A and B are shown apart, each in its own frame.
Chain A
């Protein structure tokens, strides 16, 4: 991941500033260190942040079709909550992001992923997966496992 061009306003990442719980959780590491270690983990899996972001965005796009109801997508169930209003990026960029949160569950593996539209942007543009213990933290290995899982059409019950 390239170093950020502008100095970060770390306050933007703290709870109660842009979001209620912030982006760092209980993680005491500097932000650049969180990004670096997740970049290493992702590299070991042979996947780029852009590929992860594309995958998560595709899940959001599927979830949107349900208008907040659950959407069955292969073996996964996707449900999104899309609130009115927009969120700015804690890195201070000009773009605003829709207040979309997504929950993806895979009953066959028991895996549940919870992420946001802003989180997809943070991964794509900044390689930031969230601090450990933050509500929208995504473990790179978990996402990659979900990405690699074969797409299985679930039979109608």
Chain B
């Protein structure tokens, strides 16, 4: 595959797919142009190190950003950062198969609703392609648009809050991140009727087969994908014992209580427990109080930990705290599921 200074070159992906590209353009950008979306937190500036892929052929000299971000064994095995590779000749590259399943969706925002003071629910209607096929609990990336003070578009990941049987719309629950580029756009600038680009689906957060109890812990916007999994279970008549703890600070952080009540009616072996760590006196809260890890530990004392599966979705702090508790009861990482971007 040697071509002397070609203007157009050929890139073969996983030995099965062939694309042509202009020389002088980064591999990351070339793949994006061809609707192949590598993970990236920095938009291809060589900072995050997420866009790694295996390159055979002349990918050019290893750049300092790569020696800093790739492990020696990865470099030895031909891994490069796609954003730093500017091919001048044809290449063979290897990507994880699931990256080739990602698709770009052109959508229209059809509905937006405030769930709490800092959390919004959004519904996007798929225009092209018109359907999405995914597993309940997976996530998708949304591409923001420039707004006053922010010139660049960024992509951020959000868990899908709708169940997999809903194929023509995608629902997301987005909590405002202080000073976040994308959540500021969603909360303050995005309006109904706007066209929005989504990429996905991706992620390993979905319900696994099994007979043991399902334990779910959610915090913040994390109740969205968990509700999606539960709706799927209700549709399938799943009878596994299931308990969901939803941790929040005070009543103003709670949402989806009616939906959870409906799911308790639809799933006979499902129990929902909201836990407030700092209920205010005006909350008149009579439910569980304290950190969500406390009722979780109490629950684990009487559960059959040998078959239990745990599904965690919320802030990284909550997930780390739950992981410590679950490990104390001998629940291995092969039975604990959460998103890698947590």
| Residues in A lying within 8 Å of B, measured CB to CB | 6, 12, 15-21, 64, 66-70, 80-89, 92-94, 96, 98-99, 101, 135
10 additional A-B residue pairs with CB within 8 Å, beyond A6-B64, A21-B149: A20-B150, A67-B293, A67-B317, A67-B318, A68-B277, A70-B278, A83-B178, A84-B339, A85-B156, A86-B341
- Inter-subunit contact B48/A88 (CB<8 Å): yes
The chain A residue sitting closest to B291, CB to CB, is A67
- Inter-subunit contact A92/B179 (CB<8 Å): no
Contact of B149 among A16, A92, A99 (CB under 8 A): A16
Q: How would you classify the secondary structure of chain A's contact residues: helix, strand, loop or mixed?
A: loop
Interface centre among B65, B68, B179, B220 (most CB of A within 10 A): B179
A-side contacts of B152, CB under 8 Å: 16-17
B-side contacts of A67, CB under 8 Å: 219, 247, 277, 291-293, 315, 317-318, 321
Cβ of B160 within 8 Å of any chain A Cβ, yes or no, is: no
- Inter-subunit contact B249/A69 (CB<8 Å): yes
- Inter-subunit contact A94/B277 (CB<8 Å): no
Contact of A135 among B179, B247, B292 (CB under 8 A): B179
Contact of B179 among A6, A20, A89 (CB under 8 A): A20
A-side contacts of B179, CB under 8 Å: 19-21, 101, 135
A-side contacts of B316, CB under 8 Å: 82, 84, 98
- Inter-subunit contact B178/A94 (CB<8 Å): no
| Closest 7 pairs between A and B when the two form their complex, measured CB to CB | A16-B150, A88-B47, A69-B277, A94-B68, A83-B177, A82-B317, A94-B69
- Inter-subunit contact A20/B181 (CB<8 Å): yes
Q: Would A64 and B317 be within 8 Å (CB), given that A16-B151, A70-B278, A83-B177 are in contact?
A: yes
Cβ of B180 within 8 Å of any chain A Cβ, yes or no, is: yes
CB distance from B196 to the nearest CB of A (A): 19
Separation of A94 and B64 alpha carbons in the complex (Å): 10
Cβ of B42 within 8 Å of any chain A Cβ, yes or no, is: yes
- Inter-subunit contact A68/B315 (CB<8 Å): yes
Separation of A32 and B68 alpha carbons in the complex (Å): 23
Separation of A21 and B150 alpha carbons in the complex (Å): 8
A-side contacts of B277, CB under 8 Å: 66-69
Question: Would you give 30 A-B contacts (Cβ < 8 Å), ordered by A?
Answer: A12-B45, A16-B146, A16-B149, A16-B151, A18-B42, A18-B47, A19-B181, A21-B179, A67-B219, A67-B277, A67-B317, A67-B321, A68-B219, A68-B220, A68-B277, A69-B249, A69-B277, A69-B291, A81-B177, A83-B178, A83-B180, A84-B315, A86-B41, A86-B341, A87-B41, A88-B48, A92-B47, A94-B49, A99-B177, A101-B178
